[in-house]
Amino acid sequence: MKKKHLLLVGLLLLLLIAGGSFYYQYWHQQQQEKTAVKQVARAYTKAFSRQDFKQMVRYVDHKQLTGGDYRYTSKQVVARNVAVFGRIGANQLNVKNLTVRRQKPKQYQMTFDLHLQTMIGPLNVKHYQAAIQLVKHKWRVVWTPTLLFPHMNGTDTVQLQWQQGKRGKIVDRHGKALAVDGQLTQAGMIPDQLGQGHTRTERLTAISQQFDVDLATLKQSLQQNWVTKTSFVPIKKVKQQPKLTGVTYRAVSARTYPSGAASAQLIGYVGPVTAADLKKHPQLQSNGTIGKTGLERYYDAQLQGRDGGTITINNDDNVVRTLLKRKKSNGKTIKLTLDRTKQEKAYRQLAGQKGAIVVMDPRNGQLLTLAGAPSYDPNQFVAGISQKAYQKYAQDKAQPFLSRFTQRYAPGSTFKMITAGIALDNGTITPATTRRISGLKWQQDRSWGDYQVTRVKDAATENMTQALVNSDNIWFAQTALKMGSQAYLNGLQPFFKPKLKLPLTMQPAQISNNGKLDRQILLADTAYGQGQLLLSPIQQATFYSSVMNQGNMQLPTLIAGQAAKRQAVLKQASADQVKQALVQVVADAQGTGHALQIAGHNIAAKTGTAELKLQQDTTGKQNGFLMAADADQNRYLMVALLEDNGSDAVIKATKPLVESFY
């Protein structure tokens, strides 16, 4: 009995071992099989998501492309996918939730969801299904029209009804357009008119040369998935329509800039959406536009319109299923405080010189002009600027892309009004304070070495008004030294502390490199607007508004209806006394701003010339400045700059603009 029992136990153990081995082999085989199926599913969906439909059909069973209402070849499957997804502007296809499940021997079921962007917005499609079968020792997808979109059959089509959301306008204070959607002419290729072989190459070469577009770019455009023989394949926007075989033209909506170069540096321009743009802003469409520079870029999110429409599955004229429905919306209109007429006038007065003109309403901070020169034509960029034209701009030493109204400069003698106001505030001077100065050069003591402060007019005695009328550097240097660096800094800080809330890229105003005035020469130079002092023309206008506003500095604004703050920086009496002195800068026949005089009007002004010499008593570059303001009704305050010029040239250039304010 014992032996029989042991024999039975051994037999059972052998059976268990054999069964376990068989089960393990079966399980291992199933795992290998499932892994192979998953690899095919991943390869198919990866090619599908890339819209590489030629690669995709390699994983399809070519002998199972026939159904009740369709009979396809592999090439027709590719063409069907291209037509369906090209028609809706599909991009950024992303397959999600991919699974494979065994249904029966030699057959699995693949399921997945799809997220994609279309011409009218994002679309989520759920429950794609397809069988994967073993065909001649290879796993292959059984393709049906439901792999285009679920529920599609062989006779269904996908239709797009598209409504374009318009980009918002940028307008001036009176509603005049500064950036608006208009119409341009688009040149495009018709593939079946280009011919084949050598003829095609010749025609493409002629197109490349005519429109200054790389031949490789043209060929790449023709190879896009959506392109058919009769498609209109865009080349670029053009102003003329030369006759070329294979080329036709159509009117298209395009951004236009009525003010052209006069406002280009402020408004900027739009351009085609790039791959980098899509990565940052997935809601954009690959065939859309985006603000590239200026206010077009800053306010792009508000300006962008949203396209609308419907994407449907249709059978003949009947809608079988609606895949996506989206209401279009137009972008917001951005209304500026700018006055387009004054802006264009200011630009013309610069006459191609290197400079800027900023005009502000000092009563509320509204910026009326922000003109810079030289400039560029933004309409060229929208139309598709040639490489040659772009290089001409880029290599221009005058830097037409530079917004000089936001660039920082040493303000020169215009800053003396601020020094005067601070000195009056803290009692360093009174309006009657008179200084006796001999000669055109001065230094405090021998510790200054060879350095001396210089002036233009040799006036033996001067009070504050006379010092401003004569623009005497020595008078103000002595005032700052008497005041002391700490008292001067205490007076300057309220001007420099506020942050300007403008949609512009601009570095903060600077007193000095380290924010201190810890050397006597630096203190003296700062008093008359040099040293390491740096202000943009916009910042200068902001600072100088305090003199016109009874000591209240008015911060600027560029957006209509947007209030800007005021801040008390000087005592009212001090500001008024400086203002009266600035009126004399124009009214006095000996004043540096006398050439600005207009009969019947009181103008407060201060000229300035900032020298950029590396060494005293040598010839060097200089920048000319002018601050001019309405001393009667306070309706305008202008700060103008001309590089490589003196203040006399600035007065000559801007007087017609000042006259237009009356």
What does the alpha-carbon distance between residue 465 and residue 79 come to, in Å, rounded to a whole number? 84
Please tell me the predicted confidence (pLDDT) of residue 119.
Answer: 85
**What number is the average pLDDT over the span 239-255?**
89
Please tell me the predicted confidence (pLDDT) of residue 273.
Answer: 76
363, exposed or middle or buried, with CB in 10 Å at 0-12, 13-18, 19+? Answer: middle
Residue, of 640 and 185, whose pLDDT is higher: 640
Asked if 120 and 324 count as a contact pair (C-beta separation under 8 A), the reply is yes
What does the alpha-carbon distance between residue 644 and residue 354 come to, in Å, rounded to a whole number? 8
Quickly list H helices, 497-625: 520-527, 537-548, 572-587
Q: Where in the chain is the domain with CATH 3.40.710.10?
A: 401-659
Please tell me the predicted confidence (pLDDT) of residue 584.
Answer: 98
Asked if 121 and 326 count as a contact pair (C-beta separation under 8 A), the reply is yes
Please tell me the predicted confidence (pLDDT) of residue 389.
Answer: 85
Rounded (10°) angle between helices 485-496 and 416-425: 110
pLDDT digits (tens, 9 = 90+) for 511-529: 999 999 999 999 999 999 9
| Nearest C-alpha neighbor of 91 from the set 306, 292, 287, 324 | 287
Residue, of 281 and 215, whose pLDDT is higher: 215
The 10 Å Cβ neighbour count of residue 333 is 14
Residue, of 227 and 167, whose pLDDT is higher: 167
What does the alpha-carbon distance between residue 296 and residue 300 come to, in Å, rounded to a whole number? 6
**What number is the average pLDDT over the span 499-509?**
96
> Is a pLDDT exceeding 90 seen at residue 24?
no
What pLDDT band is residue 16 in, cutting at 50, 70 and 90? low
> Is a pLDDT exceeding 90 seen at residue 278?
no
**What number is the average pLDDT over the span 609-615?**
70
**What number is the average pLDDT over the span 2-25?**
60
Please tell me the predicted confidence (pLDDT) of residue 495.
Answer: 98
> Is a pLDDT exceeding 90 seen at residue 149?
yes
pLDDT digits (tens, 9 = 90+) for 403-451: 999 999 999 999 999 999 999 999 999 999 999 999 999 999 999 999 9
Please tell me the predicted confidence (pLDDT) of residue 239.
Answer: 79
> Is a pLDDT exceeding 80 seen at residue 580?
yes
pLDDT digits (tens, 9 = 90+) for 338-379: 999 999 999 999 988 999 999 999 999 999 999 999 999 999
What pLDDT band is residue 247 in, cutting at 50, 70 and 90? very high
Alpha carbon of 637 to those of 265, 360, 366: distances in Å? Answer: 21, 5, 10
Summary mean pLDDT of the chain: 92
User: Exactly one of 49, 259, 263, 413 is catalytic; which is it?
Assistant: 413
Residue, of 27 and 273, whose pLDDT is higher: 273
**What number is the average pLDDT over the span 98-111?**
94
pLDDT digits (tens, 9 = 90+) for 45-67: 999 999 999 999 999 999 999 99
What pLDDT band is residue 1 in, cutting at 50, 70 and 90? low
**What number is the average pLDDT over the span 131-153?**
94
pLDDT digits (tens, 9 = 90+) for 305-323: 888 999 999 998 899 999 9
Pair of tokens at residue 488 = 């001067």
Please state which CATH class domain 33-155 belongs to: alpha beta
Q: Where in the chain is the domain with CATH 3.10.450.100?
A: 33-155
Please tell me the predicted confidence (pLDDT) of residue 490.
Answer: 98
What pLDDT band is residue 286 in, cutting at 50, 70 and 90? low
pLDDT digits (tens, 9 = 90+) for 443-487: 999 999 999 999 999 999 999 999 999 999 999 999 999 999 999
**What number is the average pLDDT over the span 624-639?**
97
**What number is the average pLDDT over the span 120-144?**
94
**What number is the average pLDDT over the span 376-385?**
85
| Nearest C-alpha neighbor of 551 from the set 529, 573, 584 | 573
Q: Where in the chain is the domain with CATH 3.30.1390.30?
A: 184-247
Please tell me the predicted confidence (pLDDT) of residue 230.
Answer: 87
Which superfamily does 184-247 belong to?
A: Penicillin-binding protein 2a; domain 3 (3.30.1390.30)
247, exposed or middle or buried, with CB in 10 Å at 0-12, 13-18, 19+? Answer: buried
Residue, of 613 and 600, whose pLDDT is higher: 600
Percent of the chain with pLDDT over 70: 93
The 10 Å Cβ neighbour count of residue 101 is 10
Which superfamily does 401-659 belong to?
A: DD-peptidase/beta-lactamase superfamily (3.40.710.10)
- One-letter amino acid identity for 286? S
pLDDT digits (tens, 9 = 90+) for 525-568: 999 999 999 999 999 999 999 999 999 999 999 999 999 999 99
Please tell me the predicted confidence (pLDDT) of residue 3.
Answer: 61
Among this protein's residues, is 413 annotated catalytic? yes
- One-letter amino acid identity for 128? Y
273, exposed or middle or buried, with CB in 10 Å at 0-12, 13-18, 19+? Answer: middle
Count of CA atoms in the C-beta half-sphere (13 A) of 504:
26
> Is a pLDDT exceeding 90 seen at residue 590?
yes
Please tell me the predicted confidence (pLDDT) of residue 648.
Answer: 94
